[in-house]
Structure 1
């Protein structure tokens, strides 16, 4: 039995013992809890059932020594101004500018934005030029010998390469087994998500056609390629509805094992982990769920905040929000 299961059982035992003894003080003394803890556990249980007794994860990003946004912005600027320079030379230039930073500090920021190699810095430089909408892209290509046809350019624009995935949320009482269908734009990291009781190929098609495509059509953005893993909803005999739908929509389908291939392949997993930590865990702990519609409505509010307000690391986003990279803000 896991530590979390033991923790929940211990809190339930305290509530039950207090009821059996008719004395909160006596029960707390026997179980080793304070009266304040008892009342907190009771309120959590009345609000969200056993889920309310689960402690939230204490894992937080290690940002104690993280540099300020202003310094991070300068480090990214150096990467794009001098893509041929390594981390030591970049640190030297920044220090000379009055922004003291070590070579390892430069690398830490470059890794976070996928800029740690010369090729990745050139790709980011090219993407930034395209986003400016002027002739700079061609100039950069000539200056740095960048080939737009190079297959390393896995994302050339919004909609060029997107990621679709299905994430098992587990058994959420009283709704049963739930799944999050996820769609992330590889260029901007703009994300769509929807909760369903189904995880098969037909459910993946329904999510794509009803939740994703209308948004892209509204903003006049074409989806060229969808990248998926080899789950049964996307691969094999049971995946016929999804394959047929993409063929009818003239969308290319690329399948890869998790974390192999282009940098976009891990975007769905990172988004789903963030959604679990920032939305599902605290919301399910604090609320009793009555319907899947209620849960979906709250998820859409969280997604709107993610897309419009959260700075996103990446060689195409470079710390901007998804809507900013999309050109919608």
Structure 2
């Protein structure tokens, strides 16, 4: 309830109380009014009814007499939208050239009513008007948005079962005194996030072949599974002439399809890139401060221990993992393997 309505109700209560008591002086004393105010309230009520009890501010009704005409106000609003950084005097002079006569004070009055007094407020109005417009995009513009804006649509690498897509990459770990540069050949199953890794002192095709042949393929063969596709970047250890490059030849012998990411787009191989960050945060940066490595075998032993923890004991928070470990997801995602829910429903049937 507004203040005006509350005051009107109090005046009505004064009139009713005076009628019940049959004593104007006593009613005015109880309600806090004077006798002069009482008679004025009663006169307004008898003349105008309930509307006469509502207080009205003095002054002319309707718009202010000095307000500019609607056509002039529309011209000011349109010009301010076209040139939001112009001041009131500039707007007045430019509108005069267009045949619209208005003073700088009149311009400021229009701006004040529409909350446009500052340059910043007028620029915000321009942004809002442009944002409200519908823009027709060409096919080329849509493709550019899809390419450079990852939020334009939801993008994920899809791997529907274990072995459907395996991502590989070479990661520079650092330099070991007396040994030289140390590289990690990392492999991850994109469906289950099960990871393998081996350290080398060089990044050559033979090292990329070695980790697949010695670490990854035996694990898949032990579960009667196969690798369908390998995803890598365009590094020399992975790519070359199909009839001469060792890595390409190895994949052909094993019947594995080889796909490569776009040049200078590491996010298109996001699974293995995220694995590298996890290895840095949870293993290399910690062990590098706890131990002094002298040989590559010592580093490999600690890496094997961490990968065992990563694959079998660490709950994974990735997409569609739901807190499972990579080894659990690896087994549940094997082609032809029934999921636990399906088994339970069959037993109940």
TM-score normalised per structure 1:
0.51
* Alpha-carbon distance in structure 2 between the residues aligned to 1:280 and 1:243: 30
Deviation at 1:313, TM superposition (A): 2.5
SS in 2 for 1:327: helix
2:267 equivalent to 1:276? no
Structure 2, unaligned runs of 5 or more: 1-150, 333-339, 341-349
Unaligned segments of structure 1, at least 5 residues: 1-115, 121-151
- Residue 35 (structure 2) aligns with: none
Corresponding position of 2:325:
321
1:222 paired to 2:189: no
Q: Offset at 1:314? A: 2.9
In structure 2, the residue corresponding to 1:313 is in which secondary structure?
coil
Q: Following TM superposition, by how much is the alpha carbon of 1:118 offset from its aligned partner in structure 2, in angstroms?
A: 10
User: Is residue 163–residue 184 contact of structure 1 (8 Å, CA) maintained in 2?
Assistant: yes
For the pair 1:241 / 2:242, whether they are aligned, the reply is no
Whose Rg is larger? 2
Is structure 2 residue 187 aligned with structure 1 residue 179? no
Q: Are 2:168 and 2:188, in contact at CA under 8 Å, matched by a contact in 1?
A: yes
Distance 1:117 1:215, change over 3 A: farther
Structure 1 residues 271 and 119: CA distance shift in structure 2, 3 A: closer
CA distance in 2, matches of 1:175, 1:252: 35
Supply the RMSD in Å over aligned alpha carbons: 2.5
1:232 to 225, 236, 258: 236
Structure ranking higher on relative contact order (CA contacts 8 Å, 6+ apart): 1
Displacement over 4 Å in runs of 4+:
116-120
Cross-structure match for 2:124: none
Looking at structure 2, the residues matched to 204 and 222 of structure 1 have their Cα atoms a distance apart, in angstroms, of: 18
Give the count of matched residue pairs.
180
The answer for the alignment partner of 2:91 in structure 1 is: none
How far apart are the structure 2 equivalents of 1:157 and 1:230?
Answer: 25
Q: CA deviation at 1:154?
A: 2.7
Please give the TM-score of this superposition, normalised by the length of structure 2: 0.48
Alignment of 1:159 with 2:158, yes or no, is no
Q: Is the CA contact (8 Å cut-off) linking 1:174 and 1:289 kept in structure 2?
A: no
